[in-house]
Amino acid sequence: MESGVQSNAAAAATAPEFPPKKLVRQLDFTANFGTPPAAAAQSQAHATAAMQSQLATASRTSISMPLKIESPRSRSRPVYDVKDGTPKKQKQCNCKHSRCLKLYCECFASGVHCDGCNCVNCCNNVENEAVRQEAVGLTLERNPNAFRPKIGNSPHSIRDIREDSAEFALVGKHNKGCHCKKSNCLKKYCECFQANILCSENCKCIDCKNFDGSEERRALFHGDHPNNLSYMQQAANAALNGAIGSSGYVSSPSLKKKLKGLPFGTSAKDQAIHRVAQLNQANPLKTSGTAPPGNPVARAVNSAPSGSSKLVYRPLLADIVQPEDVKELCKLLVVVSAEAAKPFSDRKIHEEKHKEKVDQTESFHALSNQDGDHNKKALPDDRSSGTTADKMSTEEFMSDSTDMQKGSRPMSPGTLALMCDEQDTMLMTSQNTGAPPRFLYDQSVTEVYAEQERCVLTEFRDCLQKLITRAKVKEEKYASMAMKSEASSSQQGPVINGNATVPMSSPAELSRSSNTFPISFHNFLPPKLGRSTTENGNIDSKTENLDL
């Protein structure tokens, strides 16, 4: 089909590849990417605005939308490393004829530039940004929803799934629906299957087997499929890529709790949980793929993780870092930043007493001196060059860490709100005391910035290192427990009793086991934050308002 790829590519680079006849506005690949700068800029602005608008719209939806726009195709490829599940480099396309400017291209469809791809004549890069933006505009013109997620929420929920159905589909529905004819919607050709969702009324597929209760689908997800592992990975990717949202699976605390609190109740929810537990029969980490022997309770306890792990992949840090932890971290960094600037503040206060009068006298003297040469040297030269300027600006301007607000560096609204009071104060002080103009202090401001940045980054690095350490510990524990689990199950099967440790081979379940890993981000935040939030009422009250 793709005969003469290279010749095609070569021709594409030198000669028109597409017929000039265009009933519908099309991308012009022929005119040396010839979009007039102005038109290109306009197109770019339009396209960018359109995409941003879509992103903004998407962010308002209940769908957990990834930062990058994704198409089902891009979702299909493992963005996460198969071995360890860690984020992996963006998928690389192999486009040959689309120049990566059509939705055929995963990168383009994902709204990202090609980077390290194997594509030919790629225009989906910075060098061809104008063309790219035009293509985006055209694509949006053709289909305003082109870059929007194709999987939306559906009325389906975990409660709707019947207890007797063995498979477990993610919550969601393909907005447009698939049109499969030969794949039975059980292969990755099918967008619904790719996204690990059931086909819906939106689909126009033929001979669909991707529905709740489908034997074929059940077989596929029950471990007796040769490609079960890949399907597992696919499901994990689907869960991870944000198309569905994190709440689609059993990750809620209540569910976790109930899952552990066997035997199950009789409510619909409990039944659903029970059903989820039954999914263990396709334990991805056990090649046998058979349900572990033992009583139902034991099987459910042991199997729940396996079953859910097949469909839910949760990063190692999933339960370590919570939203409030991020907030805490930000508070910490604000405190660290303030502390970093404090020496400058202290020094200023100390030295200001001794030098303020002298400086002002000198300045006044220079200003009052009507001699041109003196005037030039006395103020601008002294203060705008070298160490003198640094010294003075440091002394007179950096009386408070909040002065960094006066620099050109952009700050978050939260931080601005935090420091607005101080800014007003400083401004008034500066005006009242006849302090020199701001530009005279830029250098020292930068100096403080540098110190603050250093401290903040150091602190942040430390936190990240601790986070990594935690994850490693967790990972090692998973590994050892998985080995134990596998060893015991291969010999005599898991024996669960009240006191025995439940072998958990699933990272998903392990991460849910708060008893085993009572990890909280708070645990490794430095004590500084504790002080700042408990002893320093001012900082605490202000940082609480940080818009995180």
Partner DNA sequence: GAGTTTGAAACT
Partner DNA sequence: CAGTTTCAAACTC
Q: Please report, in angstroms and rounded to a whole number, the separation of the first and last CA atoms in the chain.
A: 52
When binding is defined by CB under 7 A, the residue of 35, 44, 54, 71 that contacts DNA is 71
Residue 266 falls in which region: left (phi positive, over 0), alpha (psi -120 to 50) or beta: alpha
Nearby residues of 494 by Cβ (< 8 Å), 6 or more positions away = 292, 294, 298, 302, 485, 488, 502, 503
Residue nearer to DNA on the CB measure, 44 or 71? 71
Residue nearer to DNA on the CB measure, 40 or 100? 100
**C-alpha span between 103 and 99 (Å, rounded):** 10
CB-CB contact of 399 with 350 (8 Å): no
69 sits near DNA (criterion: CB under 7 A): no
Residue nearer to DNA on the CB measure, 96 or 256? 96
Helix (H) or strand (E) holding 40: helix 37-60
**C-alpha span between 106 and 423 (Å, rounded):** 48
Residue nearer to DNA on the CB measure, 25 or 159? 25
Tell me whether the omega of the peptide bond preceding residue 293 falls within 30 degrees of 0, making it cis.
no
- Min CB(248)–DNA separation in Å: 21
Task: Tell me the two tokens of residue 287.
Answer: 């090649």
**C-alpha span between 122 and 132 (Å, rounded):** 10
In the shown chain, the binding pattern of residues 212 to 241 toward DNA, with x for contact by CB under 7 A and - for none, equals ---------------x--x-----------
Residue nearer to DNA on the CB measure, 2 or 201? 2
Residue nearer to DNA on the CB measure, 119 or 250? 119
- Min CB(215)–DNA separation in Å: 18
| 437 to 380, 396, 423, 430, 433: CA distances (angstroms) | 11, 11, 15, 9, 12
Eight-class DSSP state of 471: H
Helix (H) or strand (E) holding 235: helix 228-240
When binding is defined by CB under 7 A, the residue of 139, 283, 309, 532 that contacts DNA is 139
In the shown chain, the binding pattern of residues 166 to 195 toward DNA, with x for contact by CB under 7 A and - for none, equals ----------x-xxxxxx-x-xxxxx--x-
Residue nearer to DNA on the CB measure, 22 or 365? 22
When binding is defined by CB under 7 A, the residue of 70, 106, 328, 509 that contacts DNA is 106
What's the gap between Cα 81 and its chain centre? 16
In the shown chain, the binding pattern of residues 449 to 468 toward DNA, with x for contact by CB under 7 A and - for none, equals --------------------
When binding is defined by CB under 7 A, the residue of 146, 244, 334, 426 that contacts DNA is 146
Which amino acid makes up residue 81? Answer: D
102 sits near DNA (criterion: CB under 7 A): yes
Binding-site size for DNA (CB under 7 A) equals: 47
Q: Contact residues for DNA (CB under 7 A)? A: 1-2, 18-19, 21-24, 26-27, 71, 73, 76-77, 93-98, 100, 102-106, 139, 142-143, 146, 150, 176, 178-183, 185, 187-191, 194, 227, 230
